[in-house]
Amino acid sequence: MTPAKPHSPAPLPPNALISPLSTSPAPLSPEALPAGRILGIETSCDETAAAVVENGRLILSSLVASQVDLHAQYGGVFPEVASRQHIRTISSIVEGALQQAHLNLRDVDAVAVTRGPGLPGSLVVGMNMAKGLALGSGLPLIGINHLEAHVYSAWLHAAESPALAEPRFPLLVLIVSGGHTEMILMTGHLQYRRLGATLDDAAGEAFDKVARMLGLSYPGGPSIQKSAEGGNPRAFDLPRAWLDETWNFSFSGLKTAVLREVRRIQERNRPVPVPDMAASFQAAVVDVLVGKTLRAAETFEAKDILVAGGVSANQALREAFAAQKRFRVHIPPLSLCTDNAAMIAGAGYYRFAHGQRDGLEMDVLPNWVLG
């Protein structure tokens, strides 16, 4: 097995963002990848999750305890509440994942855990659990970038269905979630080039905030999608921030435009046409996400496109990608799009196979950038 390249000898400043690119090993050919069964642990935000995955593809078990009902009363994730809930749930979820896979800890080859990005207090719970397991069992410990894990959910999906082909490199990756909107070019396994990201709100965050403005329930994505089904996407002419010359995104102007329209209507004592507003907002987000992704895929001569993260569950977004025939677009199903630990174990397998081993002194990286 090829050992991982050593870290850069230059001392890093405090709080430095260590990108996996800087420590990425040379990719192994698929035939050279060894077998490996990985226990994955995820606690970066508001899902407590554990899973066992074989060879980065076969999900032997996957458990997710969502805290969404707990946070709904706050209209968003309440960090302190999230970490306390992770502490309550983590042990039983990890035990459950092993039981569901009919395995003991000695039957797995490594423990992979989300190291970042995410909420510091939440990340620490999963990290400490993983360290405890590694220390107690002698298993290797592997810290995983949560965004890299979202990417690897596509390989799990391809393995689930024989009709699906695996993503091909160069691969244009769009990650759209509650906390992230990232455009990344993947040139091979574990090789990332970050092209752009949101300058303000993440796409999912915009869905959540606009839902709140419209009096729709949390999380906003599904409720906006549902409301939009009965609305006209051309009812309101909302702005699209194309940010030409860059691969960045911005959704705060769109959010403010919705707020302004809502206030204008309310000042006239008229009811807000919620389905029309939801449909117009959704159309504006989808236009920009799909338009820029296709343009980037052409510019960088990508073979395929991969869309991951919670917002990729959006039906209008999926339909817009399906409507074009230039690129094969990989979008994992909802169960793999929203936060889960199978994707952590999936990415963990590739890191394990390429020789990554982390020490017990590993700390969480709440602002870890991919690429």
- Dist. CA 295–CA 327, nearest whole Å: 11
Q: Which stretch binds Mg ion (CB under 5 A): 219-227, 256-264, 284-292, 333-341?
A: 333-341
338 binds ligand ADP, rule: CB under 6 A: yes
Q: How far is the CB of 177 from Mg ion (least distance, A)?
A: 7
In the list 208, 261, 276, 339, the residue contacting Mg ion (rule: CB under 5 A) is: 339
Residues numbered 162-191 forming contacts with ligand ADP, rule: CB under 6 A: 177-180
Q: What are the φ/ψ torsions at residue 111 (nearest 5 degrees)?
A: -115, 120
* The entry of ligand ADP, Mg ion, none that residue 204 binds, CB within 5 to 8 Å by partner kind: ligand ADP
- Is the distance from CB of 41 to CB of 126 less than 8 angstroms? yes
**CA-to-CA separations, 299 to 1, 98, 148, 246, in angstroms, rounded:** 35, 44, 22, 12
Residues numbered 36-65 forming contacts with Mg ion, rule: CB under 5 A: 45
Task: Report the residue number, 218 or 236, with the smaller CB distance to Mg ion.
Answer: 218
Residues numbered 198-217 forming contacts with ligand ADP, rule: CB under 6 A: 204, 207-208
- Is the distance from CB of 43 to CB of 86 less than 8 angstroms? yes
* One-letter amino acid of 362: M
* The entry of Mg ion, ligand ADP, none that residue 222 binds, CB within 5 to 8 Å by partner kind: ligand ADP
Q: How far is the CB of 334 from ligand ADP (least distance, A)?
A: 8
- Dist. CA 53–CA 89, nearest whole Å: 21
- What DSSP assignment string belongs to 103-169? --GGG-SEEEEEEESS-HHHHHHHHHHHHHHHHHH---EEEEEHHHHHHHHHHHHHHH-TTPPPP-S
Residues numbered 293-322 forming contacts with ligand ADP, rule: CB under 6 A: 309-311, 313-314
- Dist. CA 197–CA 181, nearest whole Å: 5
Q: How far is the CB of 61 from ligand ADP (least distance, A)?
A: 20
* The entry of ligand ADP, Mg ion, none that residue 340 binds, CB within 5 to 8 Å by partner kind: none
* The entry of ligand ADP, Mg ion, none that residue 309 binds, CB within 5 to 8 Å by partner kind: ligand ADP
Residues that bind Mg ion (CB under 5 A): 45, 339
